[in-house]
């Protein structure tokens, strides 16, 4: 039987937080509290009554925190449907992945709000710069920040889903690559991304750049080659569905925790990206919690961004591109999934709401009185 993340936190969080409180931040505590309260009486909920067997059942609310593996399934499906509706028919798509050297990962972990934002901004800027030079127009694409590897290790990188067409705003015409399976040269993208990130870091956060170790500074130099993968992904549906799994979740999905080993380590299921075979990683409690907390994003951080003529402010340009490409004057409406109907767990009949459970409110007690001053 799979192990729930809330069970692990209930058993080990208090001890872990006591020993590592100097490196925990408010976002960590909020994420853990949300997971522990999710779908419990503390969140409140609804009272349902079965129309057939007339039994009452309780359904507690979800926390909807993006670090909770129990939440986000319906939001994920809706996001995927909306993005698939925006795909341009008959057009090739590419999945461009921007990675950074591992010597810069500690800085990202120490300053996630600043550096993750730079990764998203400068990777998008690199795409636009190279496209303007090579294709003569602006691209429209969606970028998504990922922070984890297959075994929940820290591995920050940016994915971009890019349609193979650029828009020349001056001439109001479309520019397409010479080959269907080629978008932009990956080495040019990598070099431009490295240069933009180095300049932006020096300009926006000079104190962070000044405190970088020598190997991290060397990684930002012109003598270091970075890696950008530019992969043809057909009409884009597969790439959108793949990325949708990570939009409303972080590093951990449900059913990946398989329990404890005999010596108390956590068994984590993971899939090899090359062989597609599943394996089991055995992590100590501290290692597992370290990795989980590494992927808790700062409050309010936006990890999915639409850029160029796919941005929210460029709707007219986006519709013009669609009209020039395929003659359509508007985007098709997405087929959004409906919330599941509440069914009785005993007999399977439809249930109706008959009451509401208010969430539990925890009030802080008065501060302890200070001792009387000595005479």
List pLDDT tens digits, range 338-347.
888 889 988 8
Q: Name, of 122-131, 236-245, 253-262, the range with top average pLDDT.
A: 122-131
Of 250, 40, 33, give the one whose Cα is nearest residue 156.
250
Distance CA 261, CA 52 (A): 44
pLDDT category of residue 365 using cuts at 50, 70 and 90: low
Q: Where are the alpha helices (DSSP H) in the chain?
A: 5-20, 26-37, 73-86, 105-110, 112-134, 186-204, 206-210, 214-219, 237-244, 285-294, 315-326
Q: What percentage of the chain exceeds 90 in pLDDT?
A: 76
Q: How far apart are CA 230 and CA 182, in angstroms?
A: 8
pLDDT value at 246 more than 90:
no
d(C-alpha 103, C-alpha 45), whole Å: 46
Residue of 125, 103, 112 lying closest to 196 (CA atoms): 125
pLDDT for 370 beyond 60: no
Q: What mean pLDDT comes out for the span 44-55? A: 90
Res. 173 pLDDT band, cuts 50 70 90: very high
296 pLDDT more than 70: yes
Q: Which helix (H) or strand (E) holds 281?
A: strand 278-283
Q: What confidence score (pLDDT) does residue 328 get?
A: 87
Compute the average pLDDT of residues 5-25. Answer: 95
- The pLDDT value recorded for residue 274 is 83
**Over 60: is that where the pLDDT of 364 sits?**
no
d(Cα 324, Cα 152) in Å, to the nearest integer? 43
Percent of the chain having pLDDT more than 70? 96
More confident residue, 200 or 368: 200
CA distance 228 to 190: 5
pLDDT of residue 2: 82
CB 239 within 8 A of CB 258: no
Q: Is the dihedral angle over the CA atoms 21, 26, 31, 33 positive or is it negative?
A: positive
What angle in degrees, to the nearest 10, is found between the helix axes of 285-294 and 5-20? 90
The shares of helix, strand and coil residues in the chain, as percent rounded to the nearest 5, are 40, 20, 40
Reported as a pLDDT band with limits 50, 70 and 90, residue 366 is: low
The larger pLDDT score, comparing residue 363 to residue 198, is at 198
Question: What's the mean per-residue pLDDT of the chain?
Answer: 91
pLDDT bucket at 367, cuts 50 / 70 / 90: low
Q: Which tokens hold the place of 249? A: 């979740």
Distance CA 214, CA 194 (A): 16
Contacts of 306 (CB under 8 A, 6+ apart): 140, 141, 142, 312
Average pLDDT over residues 358-368: 65
For residue 181, is pLDDT > 70?
A: yes
Contact 113, 145 (CB under 8 A): no
pLDDT at residue 84 is higher than 90: yes
Give the residue carrying structure tokens 């550096």.
115
| Cβ–Cβ < 8 Å for 138, 131 | yes
């Amino acid at each position: 039987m799979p192990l729930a993340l809330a069970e692990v936190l209930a058993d080990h969080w208090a001890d872990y937080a006591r020993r590592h409180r100097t490196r925990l931040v408010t976002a960590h505590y909020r994420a853990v509290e949300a997971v522990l309260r999710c779908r419990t009486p503390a969140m409140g909920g609804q009272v349902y009554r079965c129309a057939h067997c007339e039994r009452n059942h309780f359904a507690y609310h979800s926390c909807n925190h993006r670090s909770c593996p129990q939440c986000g399934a319906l939001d994920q499906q809706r996001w995927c449907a909306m993005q698939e509706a925006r795909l341009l028919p008959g057009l090739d798509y590419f999945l461009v992945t921007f990675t950074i050297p591992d010597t810069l990962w500690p800085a990202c972990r120490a300053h996630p709000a600043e550096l993750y934002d730079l990764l998203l901004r400068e990777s998008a800027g690199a795409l636009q710069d190279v496209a303007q030079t090579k294709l003569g127009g602006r691209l429209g694409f969606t970028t998504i920040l990922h922070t984890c590897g297959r075994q929940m290790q820290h591995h920050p990188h940016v994915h971009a889903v890019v349609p193979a067409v650029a828009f020349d705003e001056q001439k109001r015409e479309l520019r397409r690559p010479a080959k269907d399976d080629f978008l932009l040269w990956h080495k040019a993208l990598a070099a431009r991304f490295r240069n933009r990130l180095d300049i932006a870091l020096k300009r926006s956060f000079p104190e962070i750049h000044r405190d970088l170790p020598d190997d991290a500074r060397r990684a930002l130099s012109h003598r270091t080659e970075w890696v950008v993968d530019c992969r043809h992904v057909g009409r884009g549906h597969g790439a959108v569905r793949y990325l949708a799994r990570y939009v409303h979740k972080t590093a951990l999905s449900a059913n990946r925790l398989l329990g404890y080993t005999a010596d108390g380590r956590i068994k984590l299921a993971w899939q090899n990206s090359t062989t597609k075979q599943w394996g089991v990683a055995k992590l100590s409690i501290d290692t597992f919690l370290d990795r989980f907390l590494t992927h808790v994003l700062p409050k309010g951080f936006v990890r999915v961004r639409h850029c160029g003529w796919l941005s929210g402010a460029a709707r007219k340009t986006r519709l013009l591109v669609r009209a020039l490409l395929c003659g359509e004057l508007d985007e098709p409406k997405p087929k959004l999934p409906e919330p599941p109907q509440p069914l009785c767990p005993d007999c399977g009949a439809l249930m109706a709401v008959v009451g509401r459970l208010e969430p539990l409110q925890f009030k802080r007690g008065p501060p302890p009185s200070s001792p009387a001053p000595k005479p």
